[in-house]
Structure formats: structure tokens, C-alpha cells
């Protein structure tokens, strides 16, 4: 992948500078990168034009949280992203990556719907749905709570995760957020794994 090493260095720099915790740091970037690759490989069989959009798809997936408003002012983070990408890829690719990152979050899609990205529409959905697949990680949700809540005990973290999964993660399909074939295959499996993980946590914490 083009710029892989540079992207990783940028993520490490940004996570340290803005104190981005493990739930949105390098591990999450790696996880979304792998999901992105699986979806991309599947979709490119039917849509060979995606081969020309690899830079946009993989770079956007890797660095999408490096302007997350939970850790910094979104505008300042985006300036850092654009400065990082300047002279490395084309202006058109930078604009597309910026648009994907600014419009792909669950909350923005629920509020505003999908953006119109023309020939990059499928690239957008690949990155967006790869990020959705990462949301089925119960431990990741708990880790975010532990790092960012004043009530940072494990019981509260688990209760928060349960509530989030019931109100949001387990509603992805009914909210029309799952469009691509690979994602449709993975969601039922990930839902089952999430339920099993929560049941194990209940056993560990002796929650009935």
C-alpha cells in the first residue's frame, strides 16, 4: 500500500500529541485497514475502477480518526491531515479523503445521510462500512469509556457498552447502514461474537 509507513508514523505522532486512547489509536487503524482490504478485494472484482482509487480508500481508512472531535478540534486535526498529505498524493485525492473522513461517522450519517461523491461513492462506503465493522468490538467500547469517563470503573464501562450496542451497533442493518456484500456477510457473525463477549463479561463480573 502506498504511504503505509508514512501513515503509520503520522498516526503515532497524532495519537501521542492529542492523547488518543487505544480505542481510536493505532490498533483501531490496523483493524479498519484489514476490514477495508477485505471489502475492497471483494468489491473490486465487480468494480475494477476501484483499483485506481486505492490511495483514497486505504489512506482514508487508516487516518480517519486523526481529527476526531473526541480528542481535538476537528478543524485543527483536518489541517494536520491535509498538511501531511500535501505533495504526496493529488489534490483531487486529498479532497476526496477529506470529504470521506468528514462525513463517514455514524452520527453524521444518521443526521445528514450519505454524501454524493460521484465516482468515489463506492470508495466512501468501503471506508465507512469497514469502520462500522470495527464497532462490534465490545472491549474497544469499554476501553474508550475507561479512558474518557469520570466513572472509569469496569462495571460502568460494561453497562455503557451494553447500552451503546442495544441503541446503536445492533441497529446498523435496520437503519440502512449496511450496503456492501462483504459487510452483510460479516455483521451477523460479529453480532454473535459481541453477544458472546458480553455474556463472558457478565460471568466474570457475576452479573445476572
How many C-beta atoms lie closer than 10 Å to residue 118's C-beta? 8
Given its phi and psi angles, is residue 205 left (phi above 0), alpha (psi -120 to 50 degrees) or beta? alpha
CA torsion angle 61 102 107 15 (round to 10): 60
Q: What is the pTM of this model?
A: 0.95
> What separation, in Å, do the N-terminal and C-terminal C-alpha atoms of the chain show?
47
Q: Which domain holds residue 179?
A: 4-205
pLDDT of residue 207: 84
* pLDDT per position as a tens digit, 17-66: 999 999 999 999 999 999 999 999 999 999 999 999 999 999 999 999 99
pLDDT interval class at 75 (50, 70, 90): very high
DSSP 151-173: S--HHHHHHHHHHHHHHTGGGTT
Residue 157 pLDDT exceeds 80: yes
Number of domains in the chain: 1
Q: What is the CATH number of the domain that holds 16?
A: 1.10.3210
Tell me the CA distances in angstroms from 58 to 45, 100, 149, 188, one per residue in order: 17, 12, 31, 25
Residue 1 pLDDT exceeds 80: no
* pLDDT per position as a tens digit, 105-151: 999 999 999 999 999 999 999 999 999 999 999 999 999 999 998 87
Contact 127, 61 (CB under 8 A): yes
Amino acid at each position: 500500500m502506498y504511504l503505509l509507513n508514512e501513515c503509520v508514523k503520522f498516526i503515532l505522532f497524532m495519537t501521542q500529541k492529542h492523547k488518543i486512547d487505544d480505542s481510536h489509536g493505532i490498533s483501531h487503524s490496523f483493524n479498519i485497514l484489514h476490514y477495508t482490504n477485505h471489502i475492497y478485494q471483494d468489491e473490486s472484482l465487480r468494480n475494477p475502477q476501484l483499483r485506481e482509487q486505492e490511495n483514497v480508500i486505504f489512506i482514508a481508512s487508516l487516518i480517519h480518526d486523526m481529527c476526531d472531535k473526541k480528542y481535538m478540534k476537528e478543524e485543527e486535526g483536518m489541517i494536520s491531515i491535509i498538511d501531511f498529505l500535501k505533495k504526496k498524493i493529488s489534490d483531487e485525492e486529498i479532497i476526496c479523503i477529506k470529504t470521506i473522513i468528514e462525513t463517514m461517522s455514524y452520527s453524521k450519517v444518521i443526521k445528514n445521510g450519505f454524501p454524493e461523491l460521484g465516482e468515489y461513492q463506492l470508495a466512501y462506503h468501503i471506508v465507512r462500512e469497514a469502520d462500522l465493522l470495527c464497532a462490534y468490538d465490545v472491549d474497544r467500547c469499554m476501553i474508550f469509556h475507561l479512558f474518557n469517563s469520570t466513572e472509569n470503573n469496569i462495571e460502568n464501562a460494561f453497562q455503557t457498552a451494553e447500552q451503546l450496542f442495544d441503541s446503536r451497533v445492533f441497529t446498523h442493518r435496520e437503519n440502512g447502514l449496511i450496503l456492501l456484500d462483504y459487510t452483510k456477510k460479516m455483521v451477523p457473525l460479529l453480532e454473535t461474537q459481541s453477544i458472546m463477549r458480553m455474556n463472558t463479561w457478565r460471568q466474570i463480573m457475576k452479573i445476572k
